[in-house]
Amino acid sequence: MEYKTIRDVKFGGQTVLVRVDYNVPMQDGKVVNDLRIRASLPTLEFLRAGGAKRIILISHLGRPEGKDKSLSLAPVAKALAGLISDVEYVDDVSGPDVEATVEKMKKGGILLLENLRFFKGEEENSEDFIREIIESTGAELYVQDGFAVVHRAHASTSAVAHELPVYAGLLLEKEIVNLKKAISNPARPLLLIIGGAKVDDKEPLIAKFKGLADQIVVGGKIAADGYKADERVYVADDFDEDGTGAKLDVGPVSTAKIAGFITDAKTIIWNGLMGKAEDPAYATASTIVAEMMGEKEDAETIVCGGDTTGFVENLVVEHPGLKYSLISTGGGAALEFLLGKKLPGIEALEIK
The residues of the shown chain that bind ligand 3PG, judged by CB under 6 A, are 21, 23, 63, 148-149, 152, 331-332
Q: Which residue is nearest to ligand 3PG (CB)?
A: 23
- Per the CB < 8 A criterion, the answer to whether 175 and 334 are in contact is yes
Q: Which residue is nearest to Mg ion (CB)?
A: 332
- Per the CB < 8 A criterion, the answer to whether 288 and 259 are in contact is yes
Q: How far is the CB of 303 from ligand 3PG (least distance, A)?
A: 16
- Per the CB < 8 A criterion, the answer to whether 302 and 324 are in contact is yes
Q: How far is the CB of 175 from ligand 3PG (least distance, A)?
A: 13
Contacts (CB under 5 A) with Mg ion, residues 136-155: none
Q: How far is the CB of 91 from Mg ion (least distance, A)?
A: 24
* CB nearer to ligand 3PG: pick between 51 and 306: 306
Amino acid symbol at 35:
L
Q: Sign of torsion, CA 83 84 86 91?
A: negative
Cα distance between residue 79 and residue 341, in whole Å: 33
Q: How far is the CB of 148 from ligand 3PG (least distance, A)?
A: 4
* CB nearer to ligand 3PG: pick between 152 and 174: 152
User: What does 21 bind: ligand 3PG, Mg ion, none (CB cut-off 5 to 8 Å by kind)?
Assistant: ligand 3PG
* CB nearer to ligand 3PG: pick between 19 and 131: 19
* CB nearer to Mg ion: pick between 24 and 273: 24
User: What does 79 bind: ligand 3PG, Mg ion, none (CB cut-off 5 to 8 Å by kind)?
Assistant: none
- Per the CB < 8 A criterion, the answer to whether 227 and 236 are in contact is no
Contact letters for Mg ion, residues 302-341 (x by CB under 5 A): ------------------------------x---------
Per DSSP, the residues of 75-102 read: HHHHHHHTTSSSEEE-SSSSSHHHHHHH
Q: How far is the CB of 331 from Mg ion (least distance, A)?
A: 5
* CB nearer to ligand 3PG: pick between 27 and 185: 27
Backbone angles phi, psi at 225, to 5 degrees: -80, 0
* CB nearer to Mg ion: pick between 75 and 332: 332
Cα distance between residue 144 and residue 281, in whole Å: 41
* CB nearer to ligand 3PG: pick between 34 and 300: 34
The three-state secondary structure class of 268 is: strand
Amino acid symbol at 25:
P
Per DSSP, the residues of 295-327 read: H-SSSEEEEESHHHHHHHHHHHHH-TT---SEE
Q: How far is the CB of 342 from Mg ion (least distance, A)?
A: 18
- Per the CB < 8 A criterion, the answer to whether 263 and 271 are in contact is no
Q: How far is the CB of 132 from ligand 3PG (least distance, A)?
A: 21
Per DSSP, the residues of 178-212 read: HHHHHHHS--SSEEEEE-SS-HHHHHHHHHHHHTT
**Applying CB under 5 A, which residues contact Mg ion?**
332
